[in-house]
Chain A
Amino acid sequence: MSRRAKQRRYFLARSDEFWLLCITMAVVTWLFLGGMSVRMNDNGLDPVDWLLPGVFFLSVFAAHGLLVFAGSRADETILPVGSILVGIGLAYQYRLGGSAAIDIHDAGKLVLLMSPLVIAAVSILFRRNRLEWLRKPGWFWVVLTIAIPVAMLFWGVDYRGSRFGPMRTTPAEYGKLAALLAYTFILCRYGDSLDKQRKLFSAEANRAHRLISAVWIPAPFLYAMHRDLGIVLISAVLILALLHTATGRRVYWLAGITGAVAGGWLFRSYVSRGAVRFQAWLEPFDHPADAGYQIIQSLFALFHGEVIGRGVGEGFPRKIPLVHTDFVYASIAEETGLLGSGLVLFLFFYLSRRAMAAAGRSESLFQILLATGAGTLIWVQVLLNVGGVIKLIPMTGVPLPFISLGGSATLVFSILTGWILAVSDVRDEVKRSAPK
């Protein structure tokens, strides 16, 4: 087969992805136009602003090209879903912008524009069995999981009530990656003794339990010292999901829910900040001017949005404190309504589902756990952020993947999505079970 014909076949194999990416660009461009109408009113349009959708366009199609040329057979929906979320995030940060939020002259922010490219590059780098590379330095991930919060304890900077790394980076985000790899490694190595076929508390199983606890407990504890409650919850859900997948036992979820209720009660009763957060959650209308102010403003924004929204640029995002990070979703819901924001929400859960589906098709336990873990990280962060914004659960200060402001977080989720894409690339298997 000529090289040209081969390329053509590769392109046709990913044509669905191509069309989905075209729609992605249309969606993101519309949103940019809305954002530009706001910028025009605020401080005039900078011609450089046009670079933003332009560079994003190049990044998206370069990512697609990369996958085509590499002959990837990975899930065609993952890159478009990841890209559209990144694009919506970019457009919204631009729209919320003003002067402080996103400065396109800031090189750091260009990382965001490159996200689709990162997804594709990661997936090609690790495709097929090259993901197993990540398994080899297993103990390094374990050490890193604990080392990151310890280092932050010494070299961290406090800013606006949160702990940041030097130069206001967020090492905790990379900590999530390390934790995912560490848990996956341990469960691959020692998870067999916990299998459903065996006794739950055999001597061997207890050794595994102890090891897992020894790795899992210190990190959340250290993060709790940084007042980062979100990551404690995230890592708890992560380990439970991985335990469930590795062993097939549902009892871990049960234990986790019991632990969460007990932990929540302790947090509320013995931590003064906890009491305030619960108060803001349960009775915001009794404290509209202080504890409940933020969540109430968020609910007003939702209410104002109705079903079809007010129009991009017609909302009042500045009334919500911290709208760029924790409350972007409230602003999206105000301007695009239940319909638009619900679709965005759907995309997150769709991505998470695709991760689970990719895990389900894989034959390597390491890859299964990695994809399940990545999918879990996505849904749990969305749940914690959006749940907080709509007052379903107390606020935990967890950013919305891809959309909240933050270079590190977006990069981490791009890498996770890349891994999911890599796991979904089951080329040989597709060949074996030819379509009917």
Chain B
Amino acid sequence: MLDIRLDALRLICSIVFSLLLLLFVRRLFIVNSGMNRIGPGIRRTSGAVPVILFFLLIAYQARWQMFGFLDSGFLRVQRGFDPRGTLIGCRFHRGEILDAEGRLLAYDAHRDASLIRTYPLNASTLHLVGYHDAVFGSTSMEKELDACLMGRSLTGVGNILRLAGNAFVHRKMNGNPVRLTVYGRLQEKAYRLMDGRTGAVVAVDPRDGAVLTLVSSPGFNPNDLSREKFSALRNHPDHPFLNRVTQGVYPPGSTFKTLVAMKALELGLKPEYVCSEKGFDCGSGQPELHDYQYYAMKERGEVFEGHGRLNLDQALTKSCNVYFAHLGVALGSEHLIGVARTAGFDVQIPAAGPGLPTRAGSVPPDGDISLSRLIRLAIGQDELLVTPLHLALVTGALGSNGTMYRPRYVESEKTCPWRNLTDARTATEIARKMIQVVEFGTGQSARIPGVIVGGKTGTAENASGRSHAVFIGFAPWPGPVIAVAVVIEQGGLGGVVAAPVAAGLFKAAEEIGLFDAGMETGP
């Protein structure tokens, strides 16, 4: 009983203190005005400086004392380091992050009278949702959505009044929940399919750019971060902090052939070439370009006989390097570089609303390039680099009407087209060829029963060792609702390693019921 009263007594004590001080200051002014004012002295003094400084100091003090809750860094650190946590820290609930089905991806849990940010899907949402920690900062969507999650957006009179009231007494504040376009179930599935391998899986909705899955592997569990763990992760050779979907750039490899074929169709080219076992002669003493089968069979002691005479359909289905070398020469570097620029490989992808920042890929500079570089460009190598997210957007455009949408992370954001890859007719034609790739060609392991899937495999050579396994694909046909890009670093053959991951994801999407919705609203 006495303790409770002591609080109040002490508060009264400090208020009386302030009031008495106020009285003192008032009295000072009265005395001051009564004093004889003698004109300015013979010397100028810096009398204005203290006045200005007083107002500066008091304003900046108020910035913390009254409006500290507007500073997200301050509130974040307060959760971990303020001993008054139970009194004040817990009054500031951060909004939940939900997936497209309303499942929790991140929420504030009460533990030992303090609030702990909790991530129910553990490592699988790490690179998408990020983490929000007093010591380690905040990342990814936790960072991008901060203003909304903390409920301090200065819009609307009511909101501003609420914040103004909070400046005087720091009342309880609840942030706003944010619903993402991502499916938690797909997210978990994708992370499981990666099985700790280094790489990235991303799925977008081709119709509006909604991000359905975004997984970078390896990840780590954001729920139990500690200093030791953190420094160990920092020095981990696989760089678990890197978001490979948006920040990792890879050579697209053979998946780029879809764009080369698209360019050829746009120009009305449908050539046939004889693709012999000798490969493509680059001239000037450079080694010939061969198909991967040539090397594979050579290793087994067999002899590759060559693909023979191929048209565009067959070449894409078989992913014939020699054919595309011929086609690349026929198109010329201008068109090859042009199509990569049309797809925006060299620019950062802007998101629709808040979204993860992306790294720009690279395209060789305009101008003439040597023959050996030209044909490597035609098969998606050379200086061509792109993020997995970008590949997914390209796939989506090819699978639908040729438009690339800005990736959309937050459900309430409006759909926003980014750039036009091609016209709808050409896109459909390429999509049909991609379906053949999965039906009869290199991408057969992406097949799932009862659904028509389109895709393209890639095996991207790189300087650091084994080839990266790449797969891009969409499902179902007609009217795809999901476009996927999978990259597995140094995984080997795209058709063997990456395509099954896409198949697993398509299956999961079907189970969730995404395809049913797609059928209803399909084009």
Contact = CB atoms under 8 A, between A and B. Distances in A.
A27 B17 contact: yes
A333 B61 contact: yes
Contacts of A20: 24, 27-28, 31
A288 B77 contact: yes
A245 B11 contact: no
B28 A81 contact: yes
B295 interface: no
5 contacts: A245-B43, A288-B77, A339-B22, A349-B51, A372-B45
Report, nearest first, the 7 A-B pairs whose CB atoms are least far apart. Answer: A311-B10, A285-B73, A311-B11, A360-B41, A356-B47, A303-B68, A349-B54
Nearest to B137: A286
A244 interface: yes
Contact of A77 (B31, B40, B56, B137): B31
B24 A306 contact: no
Interface in A198-254: 241, 244-246, 248
B47 A353 contact: yes
A307 B10 contact: no
A305 B22 contact: no
A84 to B, nearest CB: 7
Interface string B167-188: 1111000000000000000000
A83 to B, nearest CB: 11
Given A300-B84, A306-B65, A336 B73 contact: no
B54 A346 contact: yes
A97 to B, nearest CB: 16
Q: What size tier do the contact residues of chain A reach?
A: 35 or more
Interface in A391-436: 391-392, 426, 429-430, 433, 435
Interface residues of B, number: 70
B53 interface: yes
A177 to B, nearest CB: 20
Contacts of A336: 14, 17-18
Contacts of A391: 60, 64
B154 interface: no
Given A308-B18, A313-B13, A360-B38, 9 more contacts: A76-B31, A245-B44, A245-B46, A288-B81, A311-B9, A313-B10, A338-B62, A349-B51, A368-B43
A304 B16 contact: no
Interface stretch (A105-113, A130-138, A267-275, A382-390): A382-390
A120 B297 CA distance: 104
Interface string B421-463: 0000000000000000000000000000000000000000000
A340 B61 contact: no
Interface string B62-100: 101110110001101110111110011000000000000
Contacts of A362: 41
B43 A288 contact: no
Contacts of B68: 299, 302-303
Contacts of A248: 43-44
B50 interface: yes
Nearest to A253: B46
B10 A245 contact: no
A299 B11 CA distance: 20
A300 B81 contact: yes
Interface in B1-48: 6-18, 20-25, 27-28, 31-32, 34-36, 38, 40-47
A300 B78 contact: yes
B58 interface: yes
Contact of B57 (A23, A27, A376, A383): A383
A392 B7 contact: no
B20 A23 contact: yes
A314 B11 contact: yes
Interface stretch (A30-38, A52-60, A61-69, A163-171): A30-38
Contact of A392 (B57, B73, B74, B87): B57
A352 B50 contact: yes
A426 B54 CA distance: 28
Contact of B61 (A319, A379, A390): A390
A299 B64 contact: yes
B65 A23 contact: no
B43 A337 contact: no
A390 B64 contact: yes
B66 A359 contact: no
A29 B47 CA distance: 32
Contact of A304 (B17, B25, B56, B87): B87
B88 A311 contact: no
A241 B20 CA distance: 34
Contacts of A365: 43
A363 B25 CA distance: 29
A361 B61 contact: no
B81 A296 contact: yes
Given A30-B20, A304-B88, A360-B47, A386 B10 contact: no
B57 A299 contact: no
Contact of A306 (B41, B73, B82, B170): B170
A26 interface: yes
Contacts of B81: 288-289, 293, 296-297, 300
A155 interface: no
Contacts of B83: 316, 319
A24 interface: yes
A361 B41 contact: yes
